[in-house]
């Protein structure tokens, strides 16, 4: 089934992986709107439900209904669990997990009316693999996989799919200083490129993936194997 008229919303779409996703989907014919705390076509703090509501109202007014959603926004506040502050725990969970919930809930209103929707949640290889010093990030990204599967089961009969991608070590500004050190851990012998994650997103939101729902696609060079 071809997508009805609507827009594609990419959260955290103004840099790194998000920017690559937005560019790839635009090249594929999508009308892409980027959402970010700073920069992007529309500004919002995804961790705040009211901020997300206002952002979706603006998207509707300026661009149209959201029928493809890529939940990519995220942040890190690393530290050993025993020393991690409650604030660092909460800020990461609120952005990386609750942010996806807030955006998905709003987008589903549009998707249900259209009986069509594509949701892709950007999780992480650490969701299925321990990473000391990132208890908050790992918990949020693991929770995102459970959220993905649940939405897939709830919405599968409505023409809506919800899938997740687990990137490994990807070359971005955030990982630039540590990428070389992590490269030795990756069976592929190199770090990934944002464009490789974007290609996976493009597949999952396309017609060829219409029967893929509740799945997790790893883009990690074998790191999670």
With the CA atoms of 68, 31, 27 and 25 taken in that order, what torsion angle do they form, in degrees rounded to the nearest 10? -20
Find where tokens 């009805």 sit: 4
Q: Angle, to 10 degrees, between the axis of helix 86-93 and the axis of helix 135-155?
A: 30
Active site residue 116: no
d(CA 196, CA 16): 12
The catalytically annotated residue of 59, 137, 139, 194 is 137
d(CA 161, CA 100): 15
Contact of 89 with 134, CB cutoff 8 Å: no
Active site residues: 137
């Amino acid at each position: 089934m071809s997508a009805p008229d609507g827009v594609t919303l990419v959260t955290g779409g103004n840099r790194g992986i998000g920017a690559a996703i937005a560019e790839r989907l635009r090249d594929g014919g999508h009308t892409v709107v980027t959402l970010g705390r700073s920069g992007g076509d529309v500004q919002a703090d995804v961790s705040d439900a009211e901020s997300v509501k206002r952002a979706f109202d603006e998207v509707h007014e300026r661009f149209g209904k959201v029928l493809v959603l890529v939940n990519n926004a995220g942040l890190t506040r690393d530290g050993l669990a025993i020393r991690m502050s409650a604030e660092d725990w909460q800020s990461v969970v609120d952005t990386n997990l609750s942010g996806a919930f807030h955006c998905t809930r709003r987008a589903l209103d549009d998707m249900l009316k259209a009986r069509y929707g594509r949701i892709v949640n950007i999780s992480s290889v650490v969701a299925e693999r321990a990473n000391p010093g990132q208890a908050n990030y790992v918990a949020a990204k693991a929770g995102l996989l459970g959220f993905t599967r649940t939405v897939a089961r709830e919405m599968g009969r409505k023409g809506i799919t919800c899938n997740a991608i687990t990137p490994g070590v990807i070359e971005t500004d955030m990982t630039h200083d540590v990428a070389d050190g992590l490269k030795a851990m990756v069976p592929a012998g190199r770090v990934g490129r944002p464009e490789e994650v974007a290609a996976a997103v493009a597949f999952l939101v396309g017609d060829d993936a219409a029967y893929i729902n509740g799945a997790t696609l790893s883009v990690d060079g074998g790191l999670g194997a």
